[in-house]
Amino acid sequence: MIWHIKIDEILSSYKDRSDLIPILQRLQEKMGWLSTPVLQRIEEKTGLSGAEIFGVATFYAQFRFKPQGKNLIKVCHGTACHVSGVEKIEEALRQELAVKGDEPTDDGLFSLERIACLGCCALAPVIMINKKCYGKLEPNKIQKVIKDYK
Amino acid sequence: MEQYRANLLICAGTGCVASGSLKVKQALEEEIIKQNLQNEIKIVLTGCNGFCAQGPLMVVYPEGIFYQRLTPENIPFLVEEHFLKGRPVESLMYTPPAEKKVIPAMCDIPFFNLQVLRALRNRGLIDAEQIDEYIARDGYLGAAKALLEMTPEEIIQEMKDSGLRGRGGAGFPTGIKWEFCAKAKGEIKYILCNGDEGDPGAFMDRSVLEADPHAVLEGMVIGAKAIGAHQGYLYVRAEYPLAIERLEIAITQAREYGLLGKNILGSGFDFDLEIYQGAGAFVCGEETALMTSIEGKRGMPRPRPPFPAHKGLWQKPTVLNNVETLANIPQIILQGGKWYASLGTEKSKGTKVFALTGAINNIGLIEVPMGIPLRQIIYDIGGGIPNKRKFKAVQMGGPSGGCIPEALLDTPVDYESITQTGAIMGSGGMVVMDETTCMVGIAKFFLEFTQEESCGKCVPCRIGTKVMLDKLEDICAGKGQEGDIELLEDLAQDIKDASLCGLGQTAPNPVLTTIKYFRDEYEAHIKEKRCPAHSCLALLKFEVIPDLCKMCGVCAKDCPVEAIKWEKKQVAVIDKEKCIKCKTCITSCKFMAIE
């Protein structure tokens, strides 16, 4: 299977336990999320138990176990963003894109994720789409921001 | 080296990039070629300048003129006026809040001229992606001195003389930490850099890594020599892609120059570094949890002792230093511990970097001498509170810290004095709050965070924070009862006493300090079912307080559903049938007249 070849390439760099998290990160970057077959393949290739791998992966907020949209929107909920009203931004985003919880949109274009702090507090409230930051947002600016990704 | 008539330093920190500084740079390049000035004017991209709120920023040297809020559209005018006609453009310069006269030179702006730059000494001055520029500013001279002229004992003595204490928050003396590790038995030792800056409201480490990555690498080389380590790791959170990119470039360049790797500078000393990306767990900022995470496990703290200096990463002696701590080290070695200790208070030496954010005019990154009063930071450097609102509290130390009220604003910034208030120095987050922030709400906000981030190992932290959060939610929802405050205080003490690591031991601080200084707000929520900051939705009536209404009509204008009736010289009236409780009017009203 093609996806096996892709992930085996990444898995071949596994030497010891300390490579587990970097490997999970690279697999997620490649596949978008960590599916059960992918986790099983890690088990086969590394010799670690499934419980160990799943235990580590679920501990860290970065890892996802559901498919995500093509574009990942991270909404910052840090102190500065909280004080400057990021709740309203998230509400506007959810309404505009019709996303519920952490499910991707119906067209598969977007997923939304709440993040503890992006560290761009001067620009609060802030969101990050893929690797790009958008700051000083207001609910009525949301449409313009996401237009570029449609 | 070629000489240019003017150097244009454009800020390319995360903040300015998000505000569009790269587009400004492109527009400048095009315009400069169009005007045929490319041999006279040089454009340099720098790391974070610090005054993030005014971005995109550019400083023009030799004059040091500070331009702010640039857009590609105003570039042609700027180039023609300033660089062809020699007339700097006032309309793009900085004007202090509530004043009319612009301040052209960066060094005259209060935000900058009250700061003392040590950890951030290269910020906004060098291109972080060019090792030569760092070297030109005495870069790697400290490492050369440490490797070629000093013994490990001498390095450690210099660090002890400097009085430098860990900038991650706990404030443990760096020299003593190094000494413990240097004396520990073992062939293999490690030095780690903690860049897992997870405190909401803090971005000091990100800015240092983006603006001056080599300073951190150099600090690690010196530390490695002092303790006898040959391998180091930089643990940086994955949410900081630009910092990671710049670090990767810096490491590659340092290797090419022989400043990392085998036989550094011919000294016979080997040392190399790897970046380890954090996967998003706040608890990994705790030293033992961070090490467990590098080992590829769930990032849970371990009991101490044994301390990491004896048994750390893979059970080997290990030193973990914070980004800002490391950035200070090259200058301490170069200029001496006594030079560093000449600034600050008796027990807190040198400077501290703070991320100043929230309800304050000059949002940004600042570095100030230890001992400076909080009031000076907030009113002189920070420029006070915007929108004519009243100062209420400054939150220091993030989820492990607390809220400091107006009455304590003359507290000097040093480890002991800040701890006495019930807050902590922390890694340097400083979030200013005005009268519209509810103190019960802010305690709830931080507890939501620690609740979510508790690793689950200790019962008091895992379950205790959940019970406290439930209570706070009840209070904000108008379901608070007599005795809730006392229950919160009791629980807080238990959690502090019975948790293993810093996360649990400090998680109750935001609740304890808000109860200590703003007990009346808690009581108003519980007894009167009223939120004095007009912030908790469940307690809002959406009524205008006639005595406070100045009849300005702003609320009526801003209401999205036209639910507010207002006529000139009349108190506004809210139609509750039409009102959708969006709180727009409450935000708009400058007089706190809607409750």
By mean pLDDT, which of A61-70, B246-255, B267-276 is the weakest?
A: A61-70
| A138, A76: one domain | yes
Q: Given B206, B296, B437, which is nearest A18 (Cβ)? A: B296
Annotated domain spans of chain B: 6-106, 131-337, 351-434, 439-527, 540-595
In the prediction, which pLDDT does B559 show?
A: 92
Q: How far is CA B560 from CA B563, B584, B585, in A?
A: 8, 8, 9
* pLDDT tens digits along A5-27: 778 889 998 999 999 999 999 99
User: Which chain B positions have a beta carbon within 8 Å of A83's beta carbon?
Assistant: 358-359, 431, 433, 437
When scoring B357, B392, B434 by the number of chain A Cβ atoms within 10 A, the one with the most, hence best to mutate, is: B357
CA nearest neighbour of B96 among B82, B112, B81: B112
In the prediction, which pLDDT does B247 show?
A: 96
Question: Regarding the domain delimited by B6-106, which CATH topology (the fold level of the hierarchy) does it fall under?
Answer: Glutaredoxin (3.40.30)
Domain that holds residue A128: 71-147
For B540-595, CATH number?
Answer: 3.30.70.20
How many separate domains does chain A show?
Answer: 2
Inside any domain, residue A75: yes
Inside any domain, residue A66: no
DSSP B281-298: -GGGGSHHHHHHHHTTS-
Inside any domain, residue A77: yes
* pLDDT tens digits along B305-344: 999 999 999 999 999 999 999 999 999 999 999 999 999 9
Q: What angle do CA B15, B19, B25 make, to 5 degrees?
A: 100
| ipTM of the modeled complex | 0.89
| A87, A136: one domain | yes
Could you give phi then psi for residue B71, rounded to 5 degrees? -130, 160
| A94, A120: one domain | yes
Q: Given A17, A62, A131, which is nearest B295 (Cβ)? A: A17
Domain B131-337, CATH number (from 3.40.50.11540, 1.20.120.140, 3.40.50.300, 2.160.20.10): 3.40.50.11540
Strand partners for A72:
A111
Query: Does residue B436 sit in helix, strand or coil?
Result: coil
Q: Given B53, B429, B453, which is nearest A122 (Cβ)? A: B53
CA nearest neighbour of B190 among B287, B333, B325: B287
Q: Given B240, B296, B433, which is nearest A83 (Cβ)? A: B433
Inside any domain, residue A90: yes
Task: Calculate the CA B136 to chain-centre distance.
Answer: 27
CATH code for the domain of A33:
1.10.10
Inside any domain, residue A142: yes
Inside any domain, residue A16: yes
pLDDT band at B130 (very low <50, low <70, confident <90, very high): very high
User: Which chain B positions have a beta carbon within 8 Å of A122's beta carbon?
Assistant: 15, 52-53, 55, 203, 357, 363-364
* pLDDT tens digits along B347-381: 999 999 999 998 999 988 999 999 999 999 999 99
Question: Regarding the domain delimited by B351-434, which CATH topology (the fold level of the hierarchy) does it fall under?
Answer: Ubiquitin-like (UB roll) (3.10.20)
| A95, A143: one domain | yes
| A140, A79: one domain | yes
**A56: closest CA of chain B, how far (Å):** 5
Residue range B439-527 forms a domain whose CATH class is mainly alpha
Task: Compute the count of residue pairs across chains A and B with CB atoms less than 8 Å apart.
Answer: 126
* pLDDT tens digits along B176-223: 999 999 999 999 999 999 999 888 888 899 889 999 999 999 999 999
| A43, A9: one domain | yes
| A130, A98: one domain | yes
Give the domain-ending residue among A31, A59, A87: A59
pLDDT band at A1 (very low <50, low <70, confident <90, very high): low
Interface check for A92 against chain B (CB to CB < 8 A): the answer is no
| A83, A55: one domain | no
| A84, A29: one domain | no
User: Which chain B positions have a beta carbon within 8 Å of A24's beta carbon?
Assistant: 279
* pLDDT tens digits along B552-572: 999 999 998 999 999 998 999
User: What CA dihedral angle connects B465, B467, B472 and B477, to 10 degrees?
Assistant: 140
pLDDT band at B277 (very low <50, low <70, confident <90, very high): very high
CA distance B542 to B515: 27
Share the mean pLDDT of chain A.
Answer: 89
In the prediction, which pLDDT does B169 show?
A: 81
In the prediction, which pLDDT does B52 show?
A: 86
Give the domain-ending residue among A23, A39, A59: A59
